[in-house]
Amino acid sequence: MGCDGGTIPTRDELVKTKKKPEQKDKASELAVKWKHCSISLEPLHKPILACELGRLYNKESVLEFLIDKSKFDFADQFNHLRGLRDLKELNLSENPAYKGNIAEKGDAYIDTQTSEYICPVVGTELSGKYRFCYIWTCGCVLSERALKEIKSEVCHKCGHTYEEENVIVLNGTDDDVDLMRIKMEARRLKAKQEKKAKKAGKHKATSGSTDLSTDGEPSSKMTKTEKDKEVAVASSSKLDVKSKLINGKPDLKSKPSKGKTEEKTVKSIQNDPYASATYKSLFTTSSKAKNQQQAHWVTFNPMYY
């Protein structure tokens, strides 16, 4: 077989065996999940968003995805994202021991498991070794250990109240994702029902306030068509009353207006029995004013008056 010198080939050299499947590096897999955006696979940077299934996103990548989904290859995996209302901006606690990106050296040890953020209660790093959750109502990120050991209905970081169904696991397993999906659908159905009930109550309030105001005009809460109907009814009722009065009393113009006295019969001040003689002499209609000498137009003297 060409093996000169007495060499004996082994079975591995003669027979090709089936190769074992390649195994994923756990450290690299965790780094991709916890340090990169789920849509664009770019490094995470603030502001960091999370969906109701526990995946992490960059805000810029999410906006690009919502504008044009055809640019992304795995758009079918993110159909649950309808808009920014389905995402929550995370309130993260920075790690004081994190030194940032340091230039790699040949003889230096590079710890890829260090994280920029930690749990504010326990102090564990947000690197994927420990399970982390966030609260949907406030967006605070806490470790699952802190939530289990210190049971409370108030957030340990910001102090806002929350319910257990609003706790979402970050980058959970397949079973966690299925549970989060059920909670997401229940939460959206509840919000839809509340919105529908609120709209129905508002509609009842507007329909109940269609009465006329004190001036006989429709109130401002009515719609345009309701106002027109009320004005037409009011005007027709006024015309009916007016026609009845005309048939019953033919002379409506002679009716005195409210708040006014009858017209005075005394037309001249000189005939007024209540005026004094001195007061009457002030006017030109008095007998003294008529007998008084008039001034000539050439020798006008104002003292005659």
* Nearest partner of 93 among 137, 132, 57, 141, judged by Cα: 141
Structure tokens at 274: 């209540």
* Nearest partner of 188 among 156, 165, 164, judged by Cα: 165
What sign has the CA pseudo-torsion 25, 31, 34, 37?
Answer: negative
Backbone angles phi, psi at 33, to 5 degrees: -70, -45
Write down all domains in the chain, each with its CATH number in brackets. Answer: 27-93+114-193 (3.30.40)
Distance from C-alpha of 60 to C-alpha of 40, rounded to nearest angstrom? 10
**pLDDT (0 to 100) of residue 135:** 93
* Nearest partner of 139 among 177, 66, 88, judged by Cα: 88
Contact 170, 49 (CB under 8 A): no
**pLDDT (0 to 100) of residue 232:** 60
**SS3 assignment, position 179:** helix
Contact 88, 134 (CB under 8 A): yes
Q: What predicted TM-score, i.e. pTM, was given to this entire model?
A: 0.57
Q: What is the pLDDT along the chain (305 residues), one digit of tens a residue?
A: 555 667 787 887 778 777 778 777 777 788 888 889 999 889 999 899 999 999 999 999 999 999 988 888 777 888 889 889 999 999 999 988 887 766 666 666 666 678 889 999 988 988 888 899 999 989 999 999 998 888 888 888 888 888 888 899 999 899 999 999 999 999 899 989 998 898 888 877 776 655 544 444 444 445 555 656 665 655 555 555 444 444 444 444 444 444 444 444 546 777 888 888 888 877 777 776 666 666 555 555 555 54
DSSP 21-70: PPPPPHHHHHHHHHHB-TTT-PBP-SSEEEETTS-EEEHHHHHHHHH-GG
Residue 18 carries which side chain, given as an amino acid letter? K
**pLDDT (0 to 100) of residue 224:** 55
**pLDDT (0 to 100) of residue 103:** 60
Distance from C-alpha of 187 to C-alpha of 259, rounded to nearest angstrom? 67
Distance from C-alpha of 163 to C-alpha of 132, rounded to nearest angstrom? 17
**CA 45 from centroid of its chain's CA atoms:** 26
State the burial class of residue 128 (Cβ atoms within 10 Å of its Cβ: 0-12, 13-18, 19+): buried
**pLDDT (0 to 100) of residue 220:** 47
Distance from C-alpha of 45 to C-alpha of 41, rounded to nearest angstrom? 12
**C-alpha R_g of the chain:** 47
Structure tokens at 97: 């021991």
Contact 170, 33 (CB under 8 A): no
* Nearest partner of 53 among 113, 133, 159, 108, judged by Cα: 133
